[in-house]
Amino acid sequence: MRPWKYFLILTAAWLLLAACGKTEGTTPSPLASTSVASPTPARTAPATEGRHTTGTPTAPGRDQTPTASPSPTLTATFTATPTSSQPSWFIRVLIPPPRPITPAYYVPPLTPPPTEIPSPMPIITDEQTHTFLLLGIDRRGRVFRTDAIVLVAIRPYDGTVSVISFPRDLYVYVPSWTMERLNAAYAWGEYAGYPGGGRALMRRTFLYNFGIRVDHILLVDFESFKAIVDALGGIEVPVSCPYTDWRLKSPDLDPTDPENWELYTVEPGLVPMDGDMALWYVRARSKSSDYHRHRRQQEVLLAIYRKAMANWHRLPAVYQAVRPYVDSRLTWHDVLPYFALLPNLDLDDIRLYRIRPPVVDSWRTPRGHWVLLWKRLPMYYLLKEALGPPPETVAETGPLVAVRNASGKRGWDLLAAWRLEYWGYETLLLEPATEIQAQSRLYPLQATKGDPDLLLHRLGLAPEALVEGQDPPLEQNLEADWLLIVGQDYNTCFDPSGR
């Protein structure tokens, strides 16, 4: 199909979806399950958070009695506008509901594991949730493991997207094989000749352990990732936390030569990145953990989304550029309706989640491998929140905060606005200040709206940053509720999944 036809289809789909409201979803069924017995040796308690200890654990996925509320601490609060409870027929025509799926069932393992095998998780994904599993892979070997595992769940009727980063070391039951790391499921499906290959086994693994129906799988290798970024003309990544790690001085150099490496630091701010630098930023982990790497991966995904929305007319060309590198069964006609949804998404429509302590704990297997055990109830409630409808809130918009950058650091105002928008605030970016200020300040304007203490807390500012009884440093009146002056003391390091 010619590009102008793509443009017409995309425009028509976008206009149709623009007239569609958000809807409310249904509540998943309660959690009820038991463990499946498996020959295991005597066990001791799992490792505590932040420390590696030897021993044999309680099986992952086993029912446990929480010491507090079963809801995990990794929660998210977003502003959404509830409207009609029935989705528009336009959305049903463009994006029909996914096919129903049979609940997972137990299949005896090929290799007896050292822990009990958990029973299947109840299905969490409903008919309003469309899931895409992104698997980052390294094709340099004959059989490869997945280096990054990210689930993108789209709820077209609600107009929301959830991004969930799964640790590759999660200790799960790979159906018909054994208890193993999550990132080994795809490789085993390919190596062992599993019916349907690695894709089918990865789908069954997610359904069995997490109750997630995986609708589409995309394999993204190094070259395809770089091609996506370069096809967009590069991206600007909102780097919230400074990061230093080893990087090749040039991508053309031999990586086996130690002299070709140097320590490279990315400072907070809006950082321009091409495909090669973005790949390094999402993969580097010699001086950090997988949890921090998940945060960086989500920062880059947001940057790709922002750049794509600013150049949405180029999406067909981007699709053609990366198609040779991406292993997917999706066609352009399959993904077009989802692209049509993207321009209507705000940052408060995108929910970010990372699976980390206290939902998981470190443990060393009898073979000496470090893995992550996960707790069934906290995992269930985390996924239930992430994959379900957004919390119902009032339709009133949040307070409007005008943001001015006086730090002298490029992009710090955008990082502050990004942080505020995740909390449901409206933001207005002003021209940077001509003079650098050491301290950040928050000024109430005309008819102040919102709790000042809560706003200070969400910005990570001390109570002394609130300035009352003084005229704000503005040349003209603004139709805003608050004025935030971002100074050099502002802490940009903000984790949206942990809040």
Both 380 and 473 in one domain: the answer is: no
Q: Is 234 inside a domain boundary?
A: no
pLDDT value of residue 45 = 34
Q: Is 248 inside a domain boundary?
A: no
Both 13 and 150 in one domain: the answer is: yes
Q: Are 266 and 296 in contact (CB under 8 A)?
A: no
pLDDT, averaged across the chain: 78
Determine the Cα angle at 244 with ends 243 and 248, to 5°.
125
Could you tell me which residues are beta bridge partners of residue 178? Answer: 174
Q: How far is CA 473 from the centre of its chain?
A: 37
Burial of 298 (0-12, 13-18, 19+ CB in 10 A): buried
Both 373 and 431 in one domain: the answer is: no
Q: Is 275 inside a domain boundary?
A: no
Both 92 and 7 in one domain: the answer is: yes
Calculate what percentage of the chain has a pLDDT beyond 90: 39
User: Which residue stretches of 95-213 are H helix?
Assistant: 185-191, 197-210
Q: Which two tokens stand for residue 400?
A: 């409007």
Q: Mean of the pLDDT values across residues 205-224?
A: 91
What dihedral do alpha carbons 248, 254, 259, 262 form, nearest 10°? 0
Both 97 and 189 in one domain: the answer is: yes
Q: Are strands 400-405 and 482-486 parallel, antiparallel or unpaired?
A: parallel
Both 460 and 331 in one domain: the answer is: no
What dihedral do alpha carbons 347, 348, 353, 359 form, nearest 10°? 160
Query: How do residues 292-333 score in pLDDT, each as one tens digit?
Result: 888 888 889 888 888 888 887 777 777 777 777 666 777 777
d(CA 227, CA 248): 19
Both 378 and 406 in one domain: the answer is: no
Report the CATH number that the domain containing residue 8 is assigned in CATH: 3.30.420.590
Task: Name the nearest CA neighbour of 116 among 47, 173, 200, 72.
Answer: 173
d(CA 352, CA 345): 14
Q: Is 268 inside a domain boundary?
A: no
Q: Are 131 and 215 in contact (CB under 8 A)?
A: yes
Task: Name the nearest CA neighbour of 80 among 162, 154, 160, 163.
Answer: 160
Q: Is the pLDDT of residue 350 over 90?
A: no
Q: Is 265 inside a domain boundary?
A: no
Q: Is the pLDDT of residue 40 over 50?
A: no
Domain end, chosen from 387, 412, 432, is at: 387
Q: Is 357 inside a domain boundary?
A: yes
Q: How many residues does the chain have?
A: 499
Q: Is 499 inside a domain boundary?
A: no
Domain end, chosen from 319, 354, 387, is at: 387
Q: Is the pLDDT of residue 379 over 50?
A: yes
Q: Is 170 inside a domain boundary?
A: yes
Q: 10 Å Cβ neighbour count for 300?
A: 20
Enumerate long-range contacts of 308-313, CB under 8 Å, 24 or more apart. Answer: 308/232, 308/342, 309/342, 309/343, 311/232, 311/233, 312/10, 312/339, 312/342, 312/343, 313/7
Q: Is the pLDDT of residue 365 over 70?
A: yes
Tell me which residue range forms the domain holding 188: 3-221+327-387
Both 383 and 404 in one domain: the answer is: no
Nearest-Å Rg of the Cα atoms of the chain is 24
Q: Are 95 and 337 in contact (CB under 8 A)?
A: yes
Domain end, chosen from 340, 355, 387, is at: 387
Q: Is the pLDDT of residue 488 over 90?
A: yes
Q: Are 163 and 298 in contact (CB under 8 A)?
A: yes
Q: Is the pLDDT of residue 137 over 50?
A: yes
How far the first Cα of the chain sits from its last, in Å, is 45
Both 474 and 361 in one domain: the answer is: no
Out of 281-290, 323-332, 437-446, give the one with best mean pLDDT: 437-446
Determine the Cα angle at 55 with ends 145 and 104, to 5°.
50
Which residue shows structure tokens 């009133």?
Answer: 396
pLDDT value of residue 461 = 95
Both 410 and 382 in one domain: the answer is: no
Task: Name the nearest CA neighbour of 251 among 220, 230, 270.
Answer: 230
Q: Is the pLDDT of residue 435 over 70?
A: yes
Query: How do residues 257-285 score in pLDDT, each as one tens digit?
Result: 999 999 999 999 889 999 999 999 998 87
State the pLDDT confidence band at 491, using cuts at 50, 70 and 90: very high
Both 338 and 416 in one domain: the answer is: no
pLDDT value of residue 368 = 92
Query: How do residues 174-193 score in pLDDT, each as one tens digit?
Result: 999 999 999 999 999 988 88
d(CA 427, CA 450): 14
Task: Name the nearest CA neighbour of 374 among 59, 44, 56, 43.
Answer: 59
In this structure, which amino acid lies at residue 336?
A: L
pTM equals 0.72
Report the CATH number that the domain containing residue 478 is assigned in CATH: 3.30.70
Out of 71-75, 149-153, 332-336, 449-453, give the one with best mean pLDDT: 149-153
Contacts of 290 (CB under 8 A, 6+ apart): 167, 168, 169
pLDDT value of residue 25 = 39
Provide the domain count of the chain.
2
Could you tell me which residues are beta bridge partners of residue 427? Answer: 401
Both 443 and 382 in one domain: the answer is: no
